[in-house]
A and B are shown apart, each in its own frame.
Chain A
């Protein structure tokens, strides 16, 4: 019996109960594998102790890359590769280069950041996610505990902690 149960799941109906439950469960020394929710619960990342996402930095760096690529391209093409007088302006008409530079900044920042997000979160069309409970994309919050990471604690003890924290159901789940 112990062998084939790898995860213990606490099922929660309410986001506020869930937030307190996560604190209680972590406080009693149980390591949480992950919490699965149908919608973003604000503050959940804090009680789970996750570090702030570094995606804004990625967006900034990709944006800088976009600006520099766009400016380099425009100066090279308009000033050095094939200079032409247009409307009596300087070859390097810097103010005219701002719109394209801005658009390229936004384009690269958005695509770069989303690319990093998809890769780090392992989101891709052929991904096979491990779904602990089908209701986690509908109306239930699922708190998953990996037994392998909590070998020091008794199974019954973990179940008791979950029930005490307000879980409406406590289930077992195994993956092949």
Chain B
């Protein structure tokens, strides 16, 4: 007996059958790439090539190519790192946390969101690696490897080292979680294919046959991976925030950072998922699977996390005043009224005010408005990290070493490089991998499709 709710919106519209699901999703993988896809892909590769000149220059000359100075020793690199890691968080939230909460609507967006996570974490990891200056020696600085100095080990008291473990665990566990979910769908494509495609997808599908026993184990694995990934995703941005919070720099030395960073990460991540999904559903004609209902639900998550972020900003300001510590008070007054006031107020506008527009049903169910606001949110979240990092550093304890940060072409170029990399990987994924988890959509089809509601 299937119980269907008369109150809830159907998750899959258009009266789709099981075969339609298979067909609609596999079609993208099987067909020849469209002109639109080629144009988008080549643009991404072009940006990647353009940015790689800056990357090569940085590797060749060293990080002196960047606009860093004695006072502002961290700027765009760490800003971009935190920004990309934050974006990645939405994927795990959708696939793991919403699985634990039995939110069935996650089924049609989790695959692409997880792919986004993996690509965003790759982009994020680029920055600390390049910032080492000589990344080819990086393994000795970042991992506890025996060496000729003793062995002189890495410092396990440092949050930077915790980050190495957190990011690499996060990346590899997300990758495994994503791949386990892909196996049954690769088998579907294999069973529809002939020739070379059958061999390739046959290998990718690991010989999946859909036996009830394997499905039972698969469900068990998914549930436990979700259970492991949930605290993991919270720990990752917590540890990223420790990079700042455990220091003694005014403006960084705050206990509110872990929850505030996690909320900000989910906030920006959902915005990026929306940006990508709105394009993907349109280009691949998947409007029946990623419905307006999905977009609205994601916008609600954006209101919640955006409001948490807004409260965190205000709390931070209040506590700086309430602490009575002059250096702390100055750091915050300087943020809002100092030379970087424009960055602070861009952040406030984009992150605190703009998501509140989603309280209006008309705005949160409008695709155009959602698309624009999703971009605005990500711009705001980039500014948030820039404000926290640069404004806290540029006013040193000694006024004689006060400075400003000006990005060079290499700063911009390396950032562009990660954009190119992200979109190149995403377009490759969108073409060659099933962008929607077919097996999971089928499992909710009977109870949650439009047909079931009739």
Chain A residues with a Cβ closer than 8 Å to the other chain, count: 65
The answer to the question of B192 belonging to the interface, with a C-beta cut-off of 8 Å to chain A, is: yes
Flag whether A170 is at the interface (Cβ < 8 A).
no
Bound CA–CA A125/B439 (angstroms):
20
Given known A89-B157, A93-B157, A122-B207, contact A103–B216 (CB-CB < 8 A): no
Query: Do A55 and B224 have beta carbons less than 8 Å apart?
Result: yes
Contact A15 B206 (CB under 8 A): no
The yes or no answer to B284 lying at the interface (CB within 8 A) is: no
Which of these, A37, A87, A118, contacts B210 with CB under 8 Å?
A: A37
Given A34-B212, A37-B212, decide whether A128 and B207 contact each other with a Cβ distance below 8 A.
Answer: yes
The contact string, 1 if C-beta is below 8 Å from chain B, for chain A 100-136, is 1011101101110110011011111111111100111
Which single member of B18, B153, B221 contacts A117 (CB below 8 Å)? B221
Complex contact A96–B156 (CB within 8 A): yes
User: Interface segment, A2-10, A72-80, A147-155, A158-166?
Assistant: A72-80
Which A residues are CB-close (under 8 A) to B442? 38-39, 139
Say yes or no: A99 contacts B165, CB within 8 Å.
yes
**Is A126's CB under 8 angstroms from B166's CB?**
no
Q: Kindly report which residue of chain B lies nearest to residue A70, judged by CB atoms.
A: B165
Contacts of A77 in B (CB 8 A): 144, 153, 156
Known: A77-B156, A100-B156, A110-B225. A55 touches B211 (CB 8 A): no
Kindly list the 5 A-B residue pairs having the minimum CB-CB distance in the complex, ordered from nearest: A127-B207, A139-B18, A123-B206, A39-B442, A99-B162
Q: Which residues of A contact B (CB under 8 A)?
A: 14-16, 34-42, 44-45, 48, 50, 53, 55-56, 59, 73-74, 77-78, 81-82, 84, 86-87, 89, 93, 96-97, 99-100, 102-104, 106-107, 109-111, 113-114, 117-118, 120-131, 134-139
A121-B214, A137-B188 given; 18 more Cβ-contact pairs under 8 Å: A38-B442, A39-B184, A41-B212, A41-B215, A48-B212, A74-B156, A82-B152, A86-B155, A96-B156, A99-B166, A106-B169, A109-B224, A117-B221, A124-B207, A125-B204, A126-B207, A127-B207, A136-B210
